Amino acid sequence: MPAYQSDTVVAMKSADQASAALGIELVEHGPGRARTRMTVRADMVNGHGLAHGGLIFALADTAFACACNSWGPVTVAAGAEISFLAPARPGDVLDADAQVRAQQGRAGIYDVTVRRGDEVIAEFRGRSAQLRR
């Protein structure tokens, strides 16, 4: 795998206005991995009073983006899916841990686990593509 590029991750995340608006913070990162965190706010719930799935997806997607951009070249999502296992509610603090699973050429596969404390609430799998320079 290519060399880890810490500055690339920090620069990308600091320019990400969408995740900033959601209060998503980058907690830690390393080669092919990242952890993000978000507190579910009252304005993030759906009509059932539960955290909107799209916002949990955004948390996982941000961790995925940080992990797959840790190698330096600009990398984007080629696809992703999420499985929801338990609901989240206002006040819940969610952590998303992303980890590279496979990388071949410009393509990669990353898994992201979203937790509330020790409880897994969602599993996300993202496929990445490095852009040509």
Tens digit of each residue's pLDDT (9 = 90 or more) over 70-124 = 988 899 999 999 999 999 999 999 999 999 999 999 999 999 999 999 999 999 9
**Residues of the domain holding 14:** 6-130
- What's the domain count of the chain? 1
- What are the C-alpha distances in Å from 130 to residues 61, 70, 88, 91, 106? 16, 11, 32, 36, 5
**89 in any annotated domain:** yes
SS3 95: strand
17-58 pLDDT, tens digit per residue, is: 999 999 999 999 999 999 999 999 999 999 999 999 999 999
**27 in any annotated domain:** yes
Distance CA 14, CA 85 (A): 30
CATH number at residue 25: 3.10.129.10
